[in-house]
Structure 1
Amino acid sequence: MNAVSVSEDKPKESRFTLAGAAAVILGATLIFGNIYLLNRTSRLETQIRELRGAVRTELANLQHDTIATTSENSKALAGLRQLLDETGSRNQQAASQATLLARRYSEQLAKKLERQEKQVSEQHQQLVAQLGEITQTTSQTDQKVSGIATEVTGVKSDVAETKSALDKTFGDLRSVRGDLGIQSGLIATNARELAALKALGERTYFEFQLPKTKSPQRIGDVAVQLKKSDTKRNRYTIELITNDKRVEKKDRTINEPVQFYMAKARLPYEIVVNEVQRDRIIGYLAAPKVRDVR
């Protein structure tokens, strides 16, 4: 009987043990669930606080930017109004100044016209007076014209005499053969004949008085140096520098054409000495006017 009782109590203890374990597991699950929910809730609250803070910061920045923009716009609007006021004031000043300048110009123009009218009136009076003087002078001029006609007749007579003397001078001029064996043009033996040659204009003439020096002297475009002068025999010796060469003309006599060529010249140059003095010769250089153009 006792054995049967013992076998019946064991199943009851087993059932109590499973139920307790299930209760423990359920309680633990509830505890962990609550902990998870609390943790999740805390995180959400933290995120919400951060989001609210960010929103507040953004709103504050937006409000600050809005205030700054509004202030800048207000300043720009105030500046624009001031500029418009200044422009209007300047336009009024410019209009007033233009009116003043126009009035001054008008007054100056009126004064200028008045002066011109006065000058024209004075000039008219002067012309009237001069016309009277011209009328009076005309009669005097008529008398002078007859006197001038008489003088012209005398001048014509003088011209005829001068022409006759010039013709005689041309007749006295002679042409001789130069030291190069080339027939020379007309040569002059004195100042009167040289003046006649210049009047003909066939050559260019350079008069000279060449002293004896240590270096050549310029006559026209020729360099000449007097080496020797013999007053008793009327002879002289000169040295020419032509075309970068030195050429000596020795023992030449007076009124003899000393001939030489220069670059680009078809005709020879001629030196004619009319007078030989001690350490000095007097004469002229005749240069051709026509040269070759190369």
Structure 2
Amino acid sequence: MTEEREFGEAVRAGTPTWLIMAIVLLGALSGISFGLAWSASNQARQAQEVLGTEIRTVKEGFAKDSGALQQRLAKTEEVNTGLQGELSLVTKRLRITQGELKKARQEAAQAREENAKQIAAMDSSIKGELATKASAEEVKAVSSEVTVVRGDLDTTRKDFQMARSELGTLIARNHDEIDQLRRLGEREYIEFSVQGKGKPQKVGNITVELRGTNPKNHQFTLALVVADLRVEKRNRTINEPIFFYTQGARQPLELVINQVSKNKVLGYLSIPKINQTTSGN
């Protein structure tokens, strides 16, 4: 109370008002500055704590990554060590293989050279023996062997010949064998096919009409018209010759069916050339 009284007396005594206001303003500014400083210090401390936490996190992550990296490096070094050992082993084996290959090539070349020498020696020996031992008896023996071989070839040729009919003609069973008979030049051959029942077809100087087929049993029935004479051949079999004569012919014509299917036959007509010559005369 005394101080307030004194202050009031001092004011009343004539202290300037502006001074009092300046003192109050300075006090206020000092309080604000202290508050700001305390707040800044608080924020700095918090920032330092956050920064420290982040630094610790980074250090821990780096330590983990560094450990994993070291483990990978150790594993890589282990793998490299193993690969180097295998490479060294392969290199050694390759050197051994190359040496063996070189040796084998040398041995093969030597064997070829020795074989060539032996063959040349045998050739010279055989030529010398043939030159010194050739005689009339040996030539005769060779001629006999040639005769035997020719006989064997003739026998083989006969074995490969086609079947013959009761009149001695060769019976072709397909187009290739028909061509073989053509090359013999003894007869003319006309190949034909008849399809459909009751449809007469002209083949050379005769007419052929299909009357029926039995593919299961390879049989057929044909009607032939020769010089206005109609003849029916029933239940004939494939590759079975059908012989008939035309007017003034000395040798018969021969008709052979090679294939039978449903309502279709395939075959050929064989005409002796002597008949054609006689007809021409």
TM above 0.5: no
TM-score w.r.t. the length of structure 2 is: 0.44
Q: TM-score, normalised by structure 1?
A: 0.42
- Indicate the structure (1 or 2) with the bigger Cα radius of gyration: 1
